[in-house]
Chains A and B, each alone.
Chain A
Amino acid sequence: MHRIRLDSDTDFGGWRKAARELVLADVAPADITWSVTGDEPELFGAAGLAPDAGSFAETATPFVHPTQSPAPAQTFNVPARFVELAQIAILHRDPQRFAYLYQLLWRLRANPELMHIATDPDVARLQAMAKAVRRDEHKMHAFVRFREIGREPKSRYVAWFEPEHHIVELAAPFFARRFADMEWSILTPDVCAHWDGHRVAITPGVTKAMAPSEDRLEETWLTYYASIFNPARLKTKAMQAEMPKKYWRNLPEAVLIKPLIDHAERKAHAMVAAEATAPKKPQRQDQPMKRAKPKADTLAHLREEAKDCRACDLWKDATQTVFGEGPPHATVMLVGEQPGDKEDLSGKPFVGPAGQMLDRALAEAGVDRSKTYVTNAVKHFKFVPRGKIRLHQKPNTPEIKACRQWVERELAAVQPLLVVAMGATAAQSVLGKVTPINNTRGRLIDRADGPQVLVTVHPSYLLRLPDAEAKEREYARFVDDLKIVAAHLNKTQAA
């Protein structure tokens, strides 16, 4: 029988060293007993073995006290996952944890894939133990309550906590990172952690009597706890699942739990039974004026009016109406299909990826975008949500028709000489009928009421093309179409 004594309850280094040597010496789990200095059963203490004897093995064994044995000649590899698991599971309070870890380590030599088998009993047991340790650590982060000794800026903060597992050293760095500018101590029955502004010191455990019993802020904290509680929604089980009773004795606010629950029903009942109050006369400061319908269709008026457009249902899911933008009397008006994601968020037309494509092509064709009026055939973004993104949907004919009034009124207000309809939706809106793009693009069409119309593709079409070659070819055609616009602009400027 090999008896291994570790330095402390959290002596992972000692366990690791001993375990490595035991595995290399082919010692089966059943032939080892593990203990911690100071925790040995009476039996061995009574046998007269001084704790510093170095060896208290019954039989000759090289694994006496792990920190005193020579460096191992051999090593072997264990999965990183095992080491991570072991470092946490070893902090569990179960006295068998060292043996459980060794048992798994022993089996890992023959089955290195074992760490991937969550259903293996040894793996599952240690994972459950590690989970319990992590949870206890998390609860320690949450439920430690510092009490102030003295007054700022010369105060110290001291807390009393009773962890379920051996987690004080594990949890202490969290408090050091968080309360770096405070001098603090966390006292527990196992060990205590202290921070002096530079480093964490660990000292032996103490009793609760050593910790302060009050704090000047506690009454205020209790006031907050009582006030944030909503008596109309009592869910004590949910509370206890996350804040089990074992923690209550060290939480100052816990004294309120019972009285709050006892009074909740009466309070909630009173709220329901109380006669409802008639709303006071609302005291609006600036009553929105009923907007008189503007006489002239100036762009500014149109933009205001379009904000509340309900002519089709697209407004419901969208953020806002995206109205046209540009000089009020531009000679060229560019019409796209509808706003996309970015346009919907910003309220401006052609600012997303298609807008960037358009900007590039316009520049290449020699058209100054700031001299054109840019708008869309449909003024709200039509989409279906897919998780975190929105999938663009093509507007249908009723939607195009419903929105056509705005395009027509924009045309009437701006009175451009040339309208560029980009894509099928824009062509349908501007020309008033379904128009195939390929047959009509690239040449000027006369509209009965004045402006000439140029049909071309929508810049987002170029973005959707799968292969680079087609992209380049179609982009060049698009630029060629826009060169007609440039020529038109030059001609009107010259005239």
Chain B
Amino acid sequence: MDVQRKLAILADAAKYDASCASSGTEKRDSQGGKGLGSTAPGMGICHSYAPDGRCISLLKVLLTNACAYDCLYCVNRASSNVPRARFTIDEVVQLTLDFYRRNYIEGLFLSSGIIRSADYTMEQIVEVARCLREEHHFRGYIHLKTIPEADDALIAKAGRYADRLSINIEMPEENSLAQLAPEKNVRAIRRTMGRLRLKLDEATEAKAEARKAPTRAKPPRFAPAGQSTQMIVGADSATDQTILNTSANLYGSYNLKRVYYSAFSPIPDSSRALPLQAPPLVREHRLYQADWLMRFYGFDAGEIIDPAAGMLSLEMDPKLAWALRHRERFPLDVNRASREELLRIPGFGRKAVDRIIDTRRHSAIRSTDLAKLHIPRNKALPFIVLPDHRPPAYQLDGARLAERFRPKAQQLGFGF
């Protein structure tokens, strides 16, 4: 099988992993030395976008899509009839370098089906990274999938070469994973996430120590871009509340950089036990918004979702839905409210809040300024007070306010 055919199979097999981030790692470049590549700390770079709206930042492939496991939601499960392929280590390395030199990619995201054993699989993955780093002096981004229960020495090695490591939690609830992925074990996944967290903390501490005493040897490197995970949404019956609780638990426990939500999407040759329907893309989007509220807007996992529903509203963003349920907290005076309060106003993003706080020390914010701050007027005005604006009392109390924000019913067509 030629490399191009293998690539078609092994990229197709990798596309259900949503993560493609290339951000948040250490600063590196190849200037003044041998080698190729650099990182873009802070913001990652998306080199292309597919028509599914997903960014293409890394060469995202599996080493092999042969897999001993039979996870029902997975296109590569042992019982699926998809064609199988396996890259040699050298093929992945060469492909990464060739793509990188043409500026198609930021680096490599390598995963694999489980072959032989966790340790054997992990060893193969790590070997690709080692070859790129040590033999080709590749300074670009590397994301490696970590196989739960892989040996500690292999994990340490993976962290030495990779920028990011990830282990997918797959399902929001333990029992659905047990049903859908009989060979996977949440306990093993969590234990490995815990091991990664300890190694990440150790590296951070060692780095801080080294900064204090710069004469000492450089501390061993461990995945400077941290760890992440992915949860499949819509393959089981978990509610959004359950999903957010699981995310909050994972963020707190393992200091994850990101939890990715992947709407369960029909796969070729799929199993009977799963919903064969279009992926719940709006739900996925709302979950990302809620995730942002938890991480950057001071919201608690327990307050974002209407307890009566247990699900996020599909019609409006979660912050707006929260504000409509907590009208007693509004209207807020934009020129006086605290940062925490401003962050809770519908339509107010983090950057806008920073700018407001900077600006209002010198000049009061007025309603004509909202556009300059990129704040949507219609969404924000009912909830705020400005020197030249105060929402009428009936508006905030009225039942019609929520109506305003619902999407207009779509006319499906004229009969003729």
**Chain A interface (Cβ within 8 Å of chain B)?**
113, 116-121, 124, 138, 141-148, 157, 159, 174-182, 215, 217, 219-221, 223-239, 242-243, 251, 253, 257, 260-261, 264, 268, 271-272, 274, 276-285, 307, 316-317, 319-320, 342, 344-347, 383, 385-390
Q: Give the contacting residue for A387; candidates B36, B251, B355; CB below 8 A.
A: B251
* Given A181-B36, A228-B11, residue A220 in contact with residue B4 (CB < 8 A): yes
B381 interface contact, C-beta 8 A: no
Q: Do A280 and B79 have beta carbons less than 8 Å apart?
A: yes
Question: Are A279 and B36 neighbours in the complex by a CB distance under 8 Å?
Answer: no
CB of B239 closer than 8 Å to a CB of A: no
In order of increasing CB-CB distance, the 7 nearest A-B pairs are A385-B252, A238-B53, A235-B53, A280-B79, A345-B194, A177-B29, A227-B11
B71-99 vs A, Cβ < 8 Å mask (1 yes, 0 no): 01000011111000000000000010011
Q: How far is the CA of A159 from the CA of B68 in the complex (A)?
A: 44
Q: A177-B29, A178-B37, A228-B50 are in contact. Are A148 and B373 (CB under 8 A)?
A: no
CA gap between A317 and B45 in the complex, in Å: 35
Q: Contacts A178-B30, A181-B36; is A221 near B50 (CB within 8 Å)?
A: no
Which B positions have Cβ atoms within 8 angstroms of A?
A: 3-4, 7-9, 11-12, 14-16, 29-38, 40, 43, 45-56, 59-60, 68, 70, 72, 77-81, 95, 98-99, 101-104, 174, 182-183, 187, 190-191, 193-195, 197-198, 248-249, 251-255, 263, 265-274, 276-279, 281, 294-295, 301, 355-356, 358-359, 361-363, 365-366, 369, 372-373
Q: Complex Cα distance A319/B415, Å?
A: 59
Q: Told that A117-B363, A272-B276 touch, could you supply 5 new A-B pairs with CB distance under 8 A?
A: A138-B43, A142-B46, A227-B11, A282-B78, A389-B252
User: Which of A220, A232, A388 is the one whose CB lies under 8 Å from B252?
Assistant: A388
B194, A346: Cβ atoms under 8 Å?
yes
Number of A-B contacts (CB under 8 A): 261
In the complex the two chains form, is A146's CB within 8 Å of B265's CB? no
Q: Which residues of A contact B49 (CB under 8 A)?
A: 238-239, 242-243
B48 near A225 (CB under 8 angstroms)? yes
Report yes or no: A119 in contact with B363, Cβ–Cβ below 8 A.
yes
Q: Is the CB of B362 within 8 A of A116?
A: yes
Chain A residue, CB-CB nearest to B137: A181
Q: How far is the CB of B197 from chain A (nearest CB, A)?
A: 5
Chain B hits for A279, CB < 8 A: 70, 72, 77, 79, 271-273
Give the complex CA separation of A116 and B363 in angstroms. 9
**Distance, CA A134 to CA B101, complexed state (A):** 23
Enumerate 16 A-B pairs (CB-CB under 8 Å) in ascending A order.
A119-B369, A177-B29, A178-B38, A180-B36, A182-B101, A220-B4, A224-B99, A236-B53, A239-B49, A239-B51, A272-B276, A274-B268, A277-B269, A319-B193, A320-B191, A385-B249
Complex-state Cα separation, A274 to B277, whole angstroms = 11
- Smallest CB–CB gap between B69 and chain A, Å? 9
Q: Residues of B contacting A119 with CB < 8 Å? A: 355, 359, 363, 365-366, 369, 372-373
The reply to whether B29 and A178 contact each other, CB–CB distance below 8 Å, is yes
User: Which of A117, A147, A236, A281 makes the CB contact (< 8 A) with B51?
Assistant: A236
Which residue of B190, B274, B361 is within 8 Å of A320 (Cβ)?
A: B190
With CB as the reference atom, state the residue of chain B lying closest to A231: B52
Q: Which residues of B contact A280 (CB under 8 A)?
A: 70, 78-79
B48–A253 contact, CB under 8 A?
A: yes
- Of B14, B38, B103, which contacts A145 at CB under 8 A? B103
Question: A63 CA to B85 CA in the complex, in Å?
Answer: 70
**Cα distance, A427 to B131, chains bound together (Å):** 56
B255, A388: Cβ atoms closer than 8 Å = yes
Contact B267 A228 (CB under 8 A): no
CB atoms of A233 and B53 under 8 A apart:
yes
Give the Cβ gap from B230 to chain A, nearest Cβ, in Å: 14
CA of A72 to CA of B209, assembled, Å: 49
Task: State the Cβ distance, B294 to closest chain A Cβ, in Å.
Answer: 8
Separation of A182 and B358 alpha carbons in the complex (Å): 44
Chain B proximity of A348: nearest CB distance (Å): 11
A149–chain B nearest beta-carbon distance, Å: 12
Chain A residues lying within 8 Å of B363, measured Cβ to Cβ, are: 117, 119-120
For A383, list chain B residues within 8 Å (CB).
252
Shortest Cβ distance from A156 into chain B, in angstroms?
A: 11
Q: Which residues of A contact B37 (CB under 8 A)?
A: 178
* B362 & A113 in contact (Cβ 8 Å cutoff): yes
Known: A138-B45, A157-B101. Is A227-B12 also a contact (CB below 8 A)? yes
Decide if A234 touches B187 in the complex (CB within 8 Å). no
Set of chain B residues within 8 Å of A118, measured between Cβ atoms? 355-356, 358-359, 372-373
Q: Is the CB of B278 within 8 A of A215?
A: no
| Across-interface contacts of B273 in A (CB, < 8 A) | 279
Tell me if A345 and B195 are in contact (CB < 8 A). yes
> Are A176 and B265 in contact, CB atoms less than 8 angstroms apart?
no
Instruction: With A144-B103, A177-B29, A284-B183 as known contacts, state yes or no: A319 contacts B51, CB within 8 Å.
Output: no
**B95: which A residues are within 8 A, CB to CB?**
220
Is the Cβ of B52 less than 8 Å from the Cβ of A229? yes
The residues of A that contact B70 with a CB separation of less than 8 Å are 279-280, 282-283
A24–B101 alpha-carbon span in the complex (Å): 50
B279 close to A232 (CB less than 8 A): yes
Contacts of A174 in B (CB 8 A): 38
For B356, list chain A residues within 8 Å (CB): 118
Q: Whole-angstrom distance from the CB of A111 to the nearest CB of chain B?
A: 9
- Cα of A108 to Cα of B142 in the assembled complex, Å: 46
Residue pair A243, B194 in contact (C-beta under 8 Å):
no
Contacts of B16 in A (CB 8 A): 230
Closest residue of chain A to B2 (Cβ to Cβ) is A220
Q: Chain A's nearest CB lies how many Å from the CB of B327?
A: 27
